[in-house]
């Protein structure tokens, strides 16, 4: 049985470890012994302990994922450790560590020291014949300009040849939520290798995890092309979202329903991926990835003339979107937020997960608090909000305790929730920031004399 090591047990690495542990050979025996590796920190140790007890380290609505984590533990081919020495036993090492990008005077800067250290740790231990597969979203050119030099330097110092280890890049498209596991096993993959043999090694591995009959693999000509594909993919989505922001504001002033308008447009296949109005952009990818290529151009290509105006504007626009929701809530409250008690329903960056990193709700809540609001967040997937250092209630609070309620995440729990009965005789104003309440519910709420509005809709909708 081959050994697969996953470097980094975050939202991507932990799921990738579970997915790899599910691979089976023709006799239905586990294909891989999968070992997740994380840092010797409180967070890393928590993740290691979770996997070693058969539990997925994060709250998830995907029962297939949590079940697979338990089955991998039970079968004995899914475990975790903080011991870097384990890399020497691996046939395949998958890099799934986080890579942030800091800003200085609104300019993105590449700070790759943590990433370089992680690659060096692997390079000092990796065995000849192993495949190192980078899944981390990185600035285009990182594999060629950063990973390759480190790998070759360390191999040389160990008396090994540069071709003794295979290197490839295949970016993750992991989507936490109800299809968390399927976003790995039943989804398209792009990949490329440092050499033809590296690319083939990568393809052979991915074929054991992914249903390639239904979701064929796409091999690109270089690792830089593969890196660029991920960054362009996420930048396109970020620009799409930012574009809708100005139409959201227009719809509210013009008293039209932008959701109705967009649905009419989306019937046309060429426009089927238009985005909808919302609170703002969150999550680990869309909030930073548009800055990767501008930074990489300066760092790797040393070109100060090439600019990315759409990418820059999208980042700026998306960062400002939560403030528009604050303005809408202020208007509902008669022009003043200070001292108002506000219940915020949902703090994660997207529906049906407990991931609060870079959540637009964090920006929204901070803006409310800056204006003097007393905010109580609630999320069925989050009991402790680390970015805010805040304990959240275990049950949805009584609406009578609040002046305003904001629906900020489209959790399935909220979609199924009976808001009308829950409100009873409470009369808070309501801001639906994520199109959760349908027209019938909105009408019933207003019939009770409750003032409410939705982002992207005029007052008559």
Q: What is the pLDDT of residue 397?
A: 97
Q: What is the pLDDT of residue 72?
A: 95
Tell me if domain 2-221 and domain 236-454 are identical in fold: yes
Q: What is the pLDDT of residue 106?
A: 64
Q: Which fold has domain 2-221?
A: Rossmann fold (3.40.50)
Q: What is the pLDDT of residue 104?
A: 52
Q: What is the pLDDT of residues 258-286, one digit of tens each?
A: 999 999 999 999 999 999 999 988 777 77
CA-wise closest residue to 20 among 148, 174, 138, 155: 174
Contact 1, 24 (CB under 8 A): no
Q: What is the pLDDT of residue 280?
A: 84
Q: Which fold has domain 236-454?
A: Rossmann fold (3.40.50)
**Could you list the mean pLDDT of each consecutive 10-residue stretch along the chain, which spans 461 residues?**
96 96 92 97 96 93 94 96 97 93 66 92 97 95 96 95 96 90 95 98 97 96 97 93 94 96 96 92 79 85 84 89 96 96 96 90 96 97 94 96 97 95 95 96 95 94 90
Residue boundaries of the structural domains of the chain: 2-221, 236-454
Q: What is the pLDDT of residue 103?
A: 62
Q: What is the pLDDT of residues 333-390, one digit of tens each?
A: 999 999 999 999 999 998 998 889 889 999 999 999 999 999 999 999 999 999 999 9
Q: What is the pLDDT of residues 399-436, one digit of tens each?
A: 999 999 999 999 999 999 999 999 999 999 999 999 99
């Amino acid at each position: 049985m081959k050994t697969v090591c996953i470097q980094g047990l975050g939202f991507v690495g932990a799921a990738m470890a579970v997915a790899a542990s599910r691979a089976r050979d023709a006799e239905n025996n586990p294909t891989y012994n999968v070992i997740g590796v994380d840092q010797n920190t409180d967070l890393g140790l928590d993740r290691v302990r979770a996997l070693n007890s058969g539990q997925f380290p994060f709250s998830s609505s995907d029962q297939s994922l949590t079940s697979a984590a338990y089955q991998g533990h039970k079968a004995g081919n899914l475990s975790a450790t903080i011991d870097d020495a384990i890399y020497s036993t691996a046939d395949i090492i998958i890099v799934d560590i986080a890579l942030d990008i800091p800003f200085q005077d609104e300019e993105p800067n590449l700070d790759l020291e943590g990433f370089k250290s992680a690659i060096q740790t692997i390079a000092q231990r990796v065995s000849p014949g192993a495949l190192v597969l980078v899944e981390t979203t990185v600035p285009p050119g990182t594999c060629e300009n950063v990973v390759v030099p480190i790998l070759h330097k360390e191999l040389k110092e160990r008396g090994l040849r540069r071709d003794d280890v295979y290197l490839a890049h295949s970016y993750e498209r992991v989507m936490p939520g109800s299809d968390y596991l399927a976003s790995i096993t039943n989804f398209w993959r792009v990949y490329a290798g440092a050499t033809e043999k590296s690319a083939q090694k990568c393809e052979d591995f991915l074929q054991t995890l992914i249903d390639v009959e239904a979701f064929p693999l796409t091999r690109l000509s270089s690792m830089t092309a593969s890196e660029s594909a991920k960054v362009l993919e996420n930048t396109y989505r970020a620009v799409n979202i930012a574009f809708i922001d100005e139409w959201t504001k227009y719809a509210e002033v013009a008293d039209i329903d932008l959701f109705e308008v967009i649905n009419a447009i989306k019937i046309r296949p060429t426009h089927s991926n238009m985005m909808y109005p919302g609170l703002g952009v969150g999550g680990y990818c869309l909030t930073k990835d548009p800055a990767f290529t501008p930074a990489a151009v300066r760092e790797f290509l040393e070109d100060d003339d090439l600019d990315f105006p759409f990418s820059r504007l999208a980042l700026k626009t998306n960062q400002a979107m939560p403030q528009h929701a604050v303005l809408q809530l202020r208007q509902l409250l008669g022009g003043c937020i200070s001292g108002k008690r506000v219940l915020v329903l949902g703090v994660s960056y997207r529906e049906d997960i407990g991931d609060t990193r870079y959540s637009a709700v964090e920006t929204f809540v901070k803006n409310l608090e800056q204006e003097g609001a007393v905010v109580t967040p609630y999320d069925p997937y989050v009991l402790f909000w680390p970015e805010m250092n805040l304990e959240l209630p275990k049950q949805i609070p009584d609406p009578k305790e609040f002046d305003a309620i904001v629906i900020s995440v489209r959790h399935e729990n909220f979609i199924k929730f009976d808001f009308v009965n829950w409100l009873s005789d409470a009369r808070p104003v309501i801001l639906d920031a994520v199109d959760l309440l349908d027209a019938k519910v909105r009408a019933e709420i207003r019939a009770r004399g409750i003032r409410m509005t939705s982002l992207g809709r005029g007052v008559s909708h």
